[in-house]
Amino acid sequence: MSATREVTPGLDRLLDDVDWTRCSGRDLHRLAEGAAQTALRQEIVGTT
The gap between the terminal CA atoms of the chain, to the nearest Å, is: 15
pLDDT(3) > 80: no
d(CA 47, CA 27): 27
Number of domains in the chain: 1
Asked if residue 23 is part of any domain, the answer here is yes
Q: Which of 25-29, 31-35, 42-46 has the lowest mean pLDDT?
A: 42-46
pLDDT at 1: 43
Q: What angle do CA 6, 46, 10 make, to 5 degrees?
A: 35
pLDDT at 20: 72
Average the pLDDT over 25-33 and give the result: 85
Domain residue limits at 29: 3-43
Asked if residue 48 is part of any domain, the answer here is no
pTM: 0.46
pLDDT(6) > 70: no
